[in-house]
Amino acid sequence: MQSKNSNIRFLIIMAMHDEAKPLINAMKLNEQGRINPNYTIEHYSGQTSGHTIDLIVNGRCSVYNVDQIGTQVSTLCAHLGIEKFNPNIVINAGTAGGFNSDNATIGDVYLSYPAINYHDRRINIPDFKEYGIGQYPAYNCSTITKALGLRTGIVTTGNSLDYTEQDMAMIKSYNGVVKDMEAAAIAWVAQQHSIPFLAIKSITDIVDGEHPTEREFLQNLHIASENLARQAVKVIDWFTKEGI
């Protein structure tokens, strides 16, 4: 455990610039350019209460000119960030889908606990089935959630904005309550390095609701990102006071 008096180095990984901008502004982080010249991954850094913040954003695809969402580039971001900055904790902050079945509302912020899973890696072979789901551990944030009044739940990751019936069956089988496109990939890399991992997710859309996901996502991205920034600052502040 990192002591209260030790300098904590935070690595925050985010998929979209519009998600990241409110947090970058709130923490007064400075743009540092690309983390690696071969990739369009953006790096921002700063200090808070004597602790170091490194925030990296997946960046925009040079071919399609869109934010590079999903697990592929998030795995790369996590690897490059951990190798370069040697953080004490990895945080994936971003927006996600919530569920009516969990009474989620737009703008709610969840912390990942007790695990992060995949829902679209279906491998119906003994042992490989469990490997596909993943079950990556999340930082035990129960004390944080009590202090800040946030919600917790299993974050479930896939590479599609929508879902299939098989996806939903998988999500329900392990009681997933937050559906995103990056967390499990980053959690896996953090696990390989034995670094604590936490996801902070703000709800843009209700997965099992009556409105199309893509419409809700675009409509609510701004408010969800603003809520995400406010709560992420509080979580980071908690760590700077209490340690990891």
Burial of 36 by CB count in 10 Å (0-12 exposed, 13-18 middle, 19+ buried)? middle
181/69 Cα distance (integer angstroms):
7
76/108 Cα distance (integer angstroms):
28
Cis peptide before 22 (omega within 30 of 0): no
Task: Respond yes or no: is residue 108 known to be catalytic.
Answer: no
Q: Which of 54, 102, 182, 205 is catalytic?
A: 205
E strands, 75-218, in order: 89-98, 109-118, 136-137, 151-157, 176-180, 197-206
Q: Which of 19, 42, 180, 182 is catalytic?
A: 19
Q: Provide the angle, in degrees to the nearest 10, between the axes of the packed helices 71-85 and 183-192.
A: 40
141 CA to centre of own chain: 14
The number of C-alpha atoms within 13 Å of 131 and in the hemisphere containing its C-beta is 6
Task: Respond yes or no: is residue 42 known to be catalytic.
Answer: no
Question: Would you please indicate which residues are annotated as catalytic (active-site) residues?
Answer: 19, 205
